[in-house]
Amino acid sequence: MLFANSGRLQYSISDIPNFLRARTLAAKADASIDQARFQEVIGRHASEGYDSYKYFDKQLWLRSKMMRAIELGLDKSAYASVLDLGCGAGYFLYCCKYLGHDVHGIDLPDYPFYRDMIALFGLSRTGFRIEAYKNLPAINRRFDVITAHQICFNGHKTESLWGIGEWDFFLGDLEENYLNPGGIIALEFNEEPSIGFYTRELRTYFESRSARIFRGRVIMSRDNLRSQLSPATSRVVAAATAR
């Protein structure tokens, strides 16, 4: 089904206008890609398994990521700088680039398929493994929009799933070193077995920062990252971040 996945509802009827616009824009973005080079890239990596193969459906990924760009208003906004964390094959960044924005990605440095796709799309990227309680690499610039889609760097499907402490450190690093004043952070979570997208405690933590939360997505502005913590939540954060 177009508006559902195997788990929770992915899109609703109210998303139809955005979906139709995303489909149109994605088709135009697709037409701007060197199709012969794309076929060369997927041909080189055809035997690598699902981690690469899942990205071969170019039109599907462009439509999906164009939807994310539209949800953030990037199809209608003026020039913006965009940082995508865990950028993978680069489809979201390419959509943003097609819309006229300045883009950069961070992802694993040692995955050849990602490197080839990033080169195909003409994107800039920093190779880095995102880990708990570890600052991101110095890029020496700031961004208006910072995103992370279908997040796996948070210990997805492991016993080391990030909690409040890890996320507080991570968001603090983004705020201090990467996010422009007035900028936004948009996170898209994968579902965890028996938990859902996040624990109740983590959702409360995000809510304390006046985040907009819907369908596994968490969107917050820099102005609210630190200003809205209640005394009770502040104590939880302090306990979680004690090392």
Contacts 24+ apart (CB under 8 A), 227-235: 233/204, 233/205, 233/208
Amino acid at 143: F
Range name among 21-35, 43-57, 130-144 with the lowest pLDDT average: 43-57
For every residue of 86-118, DSSP letters joined together read T-TT-HHHHHHHHTT-EEEEEE-TT-HHHHHHH
Of the candidates 137, 213, 230, the one whose C-alpha atom is nearest the C-alpha of residue 177 is: 137
Of the candidates 152, 174, 161, the one whose C-alpha atom is nearest the C-alpha of residue 202 is: 161
Query: What is the model's pLDDT at position 3?
Result: 41
* pLDDT higher at 10 or 166: 166
Q: Compute the average pLDDT of residues 151-175.
A: 96
Residues 6+ away with beta carbon under 8 Å from 199: 163
Query: What is the model's pLDDT at position 103?
Result: 99
Q: pTM value?
A: 0.88
Q: Compute the average pLDDT of residues 168-176.
A: 97
Of the candidates 70, 85, 64, 87, the one whose C-alpha atom is nearest the C-alpha of residue 134 is: 85
Query: What is the model's pLDDT at position 4?
Result: 40
Structure token pair of residue 25: 């824009």
DSSP 3-state of 222: helix
Q: Is residue 7 pLDDT above 60, yes or no?
A: no
176 burial level (CB within 10 Å; 0-12, 13-18, 19+): exposed
The band of 223, judged by pLDDT with boundaries at 50, 70 and 90, is confident
Angle at CA of residue 150, ends 162 and 76, nearest 5°? 125
In the chain, beta strands by DSSP E: 81-85, 102-107, 125-127, 143-151, 179-189, 212-214, 217-221
**Angular region, 81: left φ>0, alpha ψ -120 to 50, beta rest:** beta
Phi first, then psi, for residue 165 (nearest 5°) are -60, -45
Q: Which CATH class is domain 72-241?
A: alpha beta
Structure token pair of residue 9: 């509802």
β-strands 217-221, 212-214 pairing: antiparallel
Q: Where are the domains of the chain?
A: 72-241
Q: Is residue 234 pLDDT above 80, yes or no?
A: no
Q: Is residue 236 pLDDT above 80, yes or no?
A: no
